[in-house]
C-alpha cells in the first residue's frame, strides 16, 4: 500500500502486507497523550518521506518495521522535542527485546537518511535503534543529543547478526554527559587505520562489523560493544 502526501493526527498507524511511504506523516499530541507513529508491514516496509512525532514539548515515538525494512536516502524520522528526545525504532526495539515491536529480518538505512531523537533546548536525548535479527546495514545520520541548554545525551543502538555500518552517531550533550552507542552484532573488529606507523595489514573476518581506530578514538560518547559470538 503506497502512501503519499501529509497525514497529521495525535497518533498514526499504518499496516499492510507491503507498505511504501513518501510524503509527510506527523503525529502531534498534547496534554498526557503520546505522539506515536507506527509503520508496520507483513512483508516489506519502505520509508522515503518525513515522519515527525511530538508529544507536547517532548519527542514522541516512531516505529518502522517489517520483515524487510528500508529507510531510504531522503527519509527523515524525527522524534525530537524542545524538552527531551523521544524514540525512533527501526526494525525492532532496544537489542530486539521489545515484545511490542516485531523484529525485522533485514534492515537497511541508506546514506542520506536522518534518524533523530534529540532534546533541542533542555532535557535528555532519546533513543534511536536500527535493528534486525539478520543483516543490518546502516549508513544514515543517527542522533540522540542532549539539550543545548542542559541535559544528557541519549542512546543509539545499531545491530544485527551481521552489521554493516558507516558514520558515527551523535550522542553529545553541550551542557551534560554524552550518551551511549551500543554495538552488539555477532562479531566486531577494531582495526587500525590504513596510515600511520603502527598500521598492520590485518584483514578482519568477512562477517565482522568493522570499527576503525580513529572512529574509536574520535567518538564523543560512551561506546559499548557486546559481541554475541552466537
In this predicted model, what pLDDT tens digit does every residue of 60-79 receive, in sequence order?
999 999 999 999 999 999 99
Residue 50 has pLDDT above 50, yes or no: yes
CA 144, CA 45: separation in Å to the nearest integer? 24
pLDDT attached to residue 10 = 46
- pLDDT tens for residues 74-103? 999 999 999 999 999 999 999 999 999 999
| Contact (CB, 8 A) for 77 and 71 | yes
Q: How many CA atoms lie within 13 A of 2 on its CB side?
A: 5
Report the mean per-residue pLDDT for the chain.
84
- Are 67 and 40 in contact, with CB atoms under 8 Å apart? no
Phi first, then psi, for residue 208 (nearest 5°) are -85, 145
Amino acid at each position: 500500500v503506497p502512501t503519499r502526501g501529509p497525514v497529521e493526527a495525535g497518533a498514526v498507524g499504518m499496516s499492510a502486507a507491503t507498505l511504501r511511504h513518501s510524503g509527510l506523516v506527523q503525529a502531534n499530541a498534547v496534554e498526557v497523550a503520546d505522539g506515536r507513529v507506527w509503520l508496520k508491514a507483513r512483508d516489506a516496509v519502505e520509508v522515503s518521506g518525513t515522519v515527525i512525532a511530538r508529544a507536547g514539548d517532548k519527542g514522541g515515538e516512531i516505529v518502522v518495521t517489517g520483515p524487510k525494512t528500508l529507510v531510504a536516502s531522503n527519509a527523515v524520522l524525527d522524534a525530537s522535542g524542545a524538552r527531551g528526545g523521544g524514540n525512533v525504532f527501526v526494525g525492532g526495539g532496544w537489542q530486539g527485546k521489545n515484545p511490542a515491536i516485531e523484529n525485522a529480518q533485514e534492515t537497511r538505512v541508506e546514506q542520506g537518511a536522518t534518524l533523530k531523537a534529540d532534546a533541542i533546548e533542555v532535557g535528555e536525548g532519546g533513543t534511536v535503534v536500527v535493528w534486525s535479527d539478520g543483516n543490518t546495514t546502516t549508513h544514515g545520520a543517527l542522533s540522540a543529543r542532549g539539550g543545548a541548554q542542559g541535559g544528557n545525551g541519549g542512546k543509539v543502538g545499531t545491530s544485527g547478526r551481521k552489521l554493516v555500518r558507516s558514520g558515527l552517531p551523535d550522542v553529545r550533550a553541550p551542557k551534560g554527559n554524552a550518551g551511549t552507542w551500543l554495538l552488539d552484532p555477532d562479531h566486531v573488529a577494531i582495526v587500525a587505520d590504513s596510515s600511520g606507523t603502527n598500521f598492520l595489514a590485518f584483514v578482519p573476518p568477512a562477517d565482522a562489523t568493522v570499527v576503525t581506530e580513529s572512529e574509536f578514538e574520535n567518538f564523543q560518547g560512551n561506546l559499548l560493544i557486546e559481541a554475541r559470538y552466537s
